[in-house]
């Protein structure tokens, strides 16, 4: 009984420390964006009232924005707003930034999810095989893929893909999510066109959407595949050199059982962590990919806002991307803790 | 095979001076490094980059800035212009050659700023420990919490577009991993016997950190910096591509791709050639970094 209580207390204290460290990281993240917003050479009041406003109007808006308060109070207002999903209004179209982000986010989610699926489906087996057949031609191919993936500018590879598969071969749809005459046909439910068209049971739109997403998703998939292959390979090599594998072989298990039933089973946890991290890094890759493919996601939203000095939108997008990044990192830590009995 | 006297001196098993021991270690490392063909290719590409950057005005067949609208979008392999011309009739080869200077400039500056900041933060954090360590590591975590390109975008938004600002923004996003490495190294070194011995001799923390901890952190930092440079070149090119790095008419490679993007279907070479250049340099850093890791860090070995 006492032992149980002790174990419970241990878990509780661990949970509290984890929670505090997460909270501090998030707070720091908001502090960075807050400071960036403060030192911007753009006057937020002027951006709202315009240059011809009277001093009284200017002051009124100045006070309304809370700029007369001490900086710490301003920061707490900022946190309060962000916690309520309020990133201010876009200076460009005067709509709330949070609405804009909610509108563009599904496009990024759809792209990144398809990308990571491709990366996992191709990368994991490739990594396992290249570890099992170390030095074989498959291993060399895997090494080459990883090396190229780490060295090639993603936006350039995207352009080349467009040139070859769209411009010359005409196998895929061009930039954008749909051909123009398919737009606004199906009702928006999730914002992800592939899912929406399945719900609406519209095969024509689905096929068209697929022809548009396949190239950018393969591009992102290639980069996550490069990473996942390399990590899977090194995890597998570590397992295959352990003694229990030798034992399993001596017992006469088939090679397939040794590799998939024993070694691979033991790297699943590490693999999940890698996949979560890779998913997070796709957010970064999607910024440039979205620009190349005119994909209306959060990456192109932030970049467009940046080029038109729409600071609320830039900071809102940065905070959202940062928070997702942190959450995925924490998630992978938690999964590791749950699935790996050694870490308990 | 007869050795030159200098080789005998370098390979001597009984060095007579500290300098000889040091040089001998370097030479043995170099010999081991030479056997790695891929790493040598990487080194070769980087040496070529430096050579081209230094002698750009002599090597470039044309002025990289002179426009000639009558001669625009000349295809690859045309007279006078091996790599063709861009949308303003400027010679792509010449722009590529001058662009090497910009790439080198970014790489050198970031390679100086980011590791030094990381080394300072990491060693101080690891050596002092306690509250200082906690605060510094939290700050590091916060910077690690952003995807690198996105944070660089936000910094550029504050600083304004331009190549110097791009360097600052990239450095600001690049230092945290170095701080982590330096801290980890410091923690293992801090409690070792020889540090205690020096402390008993009366050395202050400043002397211990600069003279005894830093030198031991350097090799793991060098490996990491070399491997990171590939990624940093890609981020810099990405910023240039988005129009936030080097400004026109600067022949920065990323900006050149962005310029060529509009004509990609008709004049593919305008965007293709600078991309190949970025790829070559980035690949070179990856190959060199792998090679250096094998030589400098026997622990990790070949994976």
Nearest to B142 among A29, A233, A281 (CB): A29
d(CA B123, CA A343): 28
Asked, for residue B50, whether it belongs to a domain, the answer is yes
Q: Domain span at residue B282?
A: 39-55+82-300
- CATH number reported for the structural domain that contains residue B270 in this entry: 1.10.3720.10
Is residue B2 assigned to a domain?
no
Q: What DSSP string runs through A14-72?
A: HHHHHHHHHHHHHHHHHHHHHHHHHH-SS-HHHHHH-TT--HHHHHHHHHHTTTTS-HH
* Residue B154 in contact with partner chain A when CB distance is under 8 A: yes
Question: What rounded mean pLDDT belongs to chain B?
Answer: 83
A24 pLDDT exceeds 90?
Answer: no
Whether B235 maps to a domain, the answer reads yes
Average pLDDT, chain A: 83
What pLDDT is attached to residue B303?
38
Kindly state the average pLDDT of the residues B201-218: 84
Q: Is residue B205 part of a domain?
A: yes
Averaged pLDDT for residues A108-134: 91
Comparing CA positions, the residue from A292, A294, A316 lying closest to residue A306 is A316
Check pLDDT > 50 for residue A214. Answer: yes
How many domains, chain B? Answer: 1
Inter-chain touch B148–A237, beta carbons under 8 Å: no
Could you report the per-residue pLDDT of A167-210, keeping only the tens digit for each?
A: 888 888 778 888 777 777 777 777 788 888 888 888 888 888 88
Residues contacting B48, CB < 8 A, separation 6+: none
Q: Does any CB of chain A come closer than 8 Å to the CB of residue B283?
A: yes
Note whether B161 contacts A: Cβ–Cβ < 8 A. no
The domain limits of chain A are 108-343
B73 assigned to some structural domain: no
Residue indicated by tokens 């990919």: A289
Residue B109 confidence (pLDDT) = 92
Would you say residue B5 lies in a domain? no
Looking at the complex, does the CB of residue A23 fall below 8 Å from at least one CB of chain B?
A: no
The pLDDT value given to residue B64: 79
**CA-based end-to-end distance of chain B:** 33
Answer whether B156 touches A (CB < 8 Å): yes
Instruction: Verify whether the Cβ–Cβ distance A151 to B271 is below 8 Å.
Output: no
Using a CB-CB cut-off of 8 Å, the residues of chain B touching A280 are: 147
Return the pLDDT at B200. Answer: 87
Q: Using one digit for the tens of pLDDT, what is the confidence trace for A295-304?
A: 888 888 888 8
In a domain, residue B251? The reply is yes
pLDDT of residue B301: 43
- Tell me whether residues B147 and A284 touch, CB distance under 8 A: yes
Cα–Cα dist A302/A288, whole Å: 11
B257 and A CB contact within 8 Å: yes
Which chain A residues are within 8 Å of B285, Cβ to Cβ? 151
Chain A, 242 to 261: residues with Cβ < 8 Å from chain B are none
Alpha-carbon distance A104 to A188, whole Å?
A: 12
Least confident of A104-113, A125-134, A212-221, B22-31: B22-31
The answer to whether A163 contacts B257, with C-beta atoms less than 8 Å apart, is: no
Contact A32 B303 (CB under 8 A): no
Distance from CA of A187 to the nearest CA of B (A): 32
For an interface test with A, give the residue of B142, B256, B267, B284 to mutate (most A CBs within 10 A).
B142
In the predicted structure, residue A284 carries a pLDDT above the cut 80: no
| pLDDT class of A41 with cuts at 50, 70, 90 | low
Q: What pLDDT does residue A239 have?
A: 86
Which residue in the set A303, A315, A325 is minimally distant from B147, CB to CB? Answer: A325
pLDDT confidence bin for B60, thresholds 50/70/90: confident
List the 146-185 stretch of A: residues with Cβ below 8 A of B: 147-148, 150-157, 159-160, 162-163, 167
- Does B151 touch chain A if contact means CB atoms closer than 8 Å? yes
Distance from CA of B289 to the nearest CA of A (A): 12
Inter-chain CB proximity B142 and A148 less than 8 Å: no
Q: Does B124 fall in a domain? A: yes
**pLDDT digits 0-9 by tens, B245-291:** 888 888 889 888 988 888 887 888 888 889 999 999 999 999 888 88
Please give the average per-residue pLDDT across B118-147, as a whole number: 85
**Does the pLDDT of residue A231 top 80, yes or no?**
yes
ipTM: 0.82
How sure is the predictor about A12, in pLDDT bands with cuts at 50, 70 and 90?
Answer: confident
Q: How far apart are CA A31 and CA A29, in angstroms?
A: 5
Instruction: Look up the CATH superfamily of A108-343.
Output: MetI-like (1.10.3720.10)
> What are the tokens at B193?
């016997």
Q: Is the predicted pLDDT of residue A120 greater than 90, yes or no?
A: yes
Partners of residue B230 in chain A, C-beta under 8 Å:
150-151
């Amino acid at each position: 009984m006492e032992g149980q209580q002790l174990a419970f207390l241990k878990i509780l204290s661990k949970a509290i420390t984890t929670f505090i460290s997460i909270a501090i990281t998030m707070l720091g993240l908001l502090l960075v964006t807050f400071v960036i917003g403060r030192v911007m050479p753009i006057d937020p009041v002027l951006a709202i009232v315009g240059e011809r406003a009277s001093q009284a109007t200017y002051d009124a808006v100045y006070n309304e924005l809370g700029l007369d308060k001490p900086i710490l109070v301003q920061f707490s207002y900022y946190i309060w707003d962000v916690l309520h999903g309020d990133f201010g209004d876009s200076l460009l179209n005067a709509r709330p930034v949070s609405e804009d982000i909610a509108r563009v986010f599904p496009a990024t989610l759809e792209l990144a999810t398809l990308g990571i699926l491709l990366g996992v489906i191709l990368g994991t087996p490739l990594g396992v095989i290249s570890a099992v057949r170390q030095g074989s031609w498959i291993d060399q191919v895997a090494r080459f893929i990883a090396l190229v993936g780490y060295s090639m500018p993603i936006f350039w590879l995207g352009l080349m893909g467009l040139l070859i598969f769209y411009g010359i071969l005409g196998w895929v749809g061009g930039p954008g999510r749909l051909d123009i005459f398919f737009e606004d046909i199906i009702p928006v439910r999730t914002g992800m066109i592939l899912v929406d068209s399945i719900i609406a049971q519209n095969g024509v739109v689905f096929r068209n959407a697929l022809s548009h997403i396949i190239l950018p998703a393969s591009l992102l998939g290639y980069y996550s595949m490069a990473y996942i292959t390399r990590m899977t390979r090194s995890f597998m090599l570590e397992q295959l050199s352990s003694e229990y594998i030798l034992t399993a072989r001596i017992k006469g298990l088939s090679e397939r059982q040794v590799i998939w039933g024993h070694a691979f089973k033991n790297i699943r946890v590490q693999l999940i962590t890698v996949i979560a991290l890779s998913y997070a890094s796709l957010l970064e890759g999607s910024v440039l990919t979205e620009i190349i493919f005119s994909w209306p996601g959060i990456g192109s939203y932030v970049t467009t806002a940046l080029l038109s000095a729409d600071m609320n939108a830039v900071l809102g997008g940065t905070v959202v991307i940062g928070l997702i990044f942190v959450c995925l990192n924490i998630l992978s830590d938690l999964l590791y803790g749950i699935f790996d009995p050694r870490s308990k | 095979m007869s050795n030159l006297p200098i080789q005998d001196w370098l390979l001597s098993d009984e060095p007579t001076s500290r300098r000889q021991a040091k040089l001998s270690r370097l030479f043995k490392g170099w010999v081991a490094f030479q056997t790695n063909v891929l790493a040598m290719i990487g080194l070769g590409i980087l040496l070529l980059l430096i050579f081209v950057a230094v002698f750009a005005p002599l090597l470039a067949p044309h002025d990289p800035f002179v426009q000639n609208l009558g001669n625009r979008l000349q295809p690859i392999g045309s007279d006078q212009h091996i790599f063709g011309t861009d949308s303003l009739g400027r010679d792509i080869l010449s722009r590529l050659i001058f662009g090497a200077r910009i790439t080198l400039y970014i790489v050198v500056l970031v390679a100086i700023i980011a590791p030094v900041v990381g080394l300072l933060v990491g060693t101080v954090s690891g050596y002092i420990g306690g509250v200082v360590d906690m605060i510094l590591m939290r700050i590091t975590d916060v910077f690690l919490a952003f995807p690198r390109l996105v944070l660089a975008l936000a910094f550029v938004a504050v600083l304004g577009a331009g190549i110097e600002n791009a360097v600052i923004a990239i450095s600001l996003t690049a230092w945290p991993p170095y701080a982590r490495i330096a801290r980890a190294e410091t923690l293992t070194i801090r409690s070792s016997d020889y540090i205690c011995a020096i402390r008993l001799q009366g050395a202050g923390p400043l002397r211990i950190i600069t003279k005894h901890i830093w030198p031991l952190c350097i090799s793991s930092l060098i490996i990491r910096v070399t491997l990171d440079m590939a990624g940093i070149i890609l981020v810099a090119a990405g910023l240039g591509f988005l129009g936030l790095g080097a400004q026109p008419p600067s022949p920065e490679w990323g900006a050149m791709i962005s310029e060529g993007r509009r004509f990609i279907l008709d004049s593919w070479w305008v965007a293709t050639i600078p991309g190949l250049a970025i790829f070559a340099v980035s690949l070179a850093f990856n190959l060199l970094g792998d090679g250096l890791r094998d030589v400098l860090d026997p622990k990790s070995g070949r994976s």
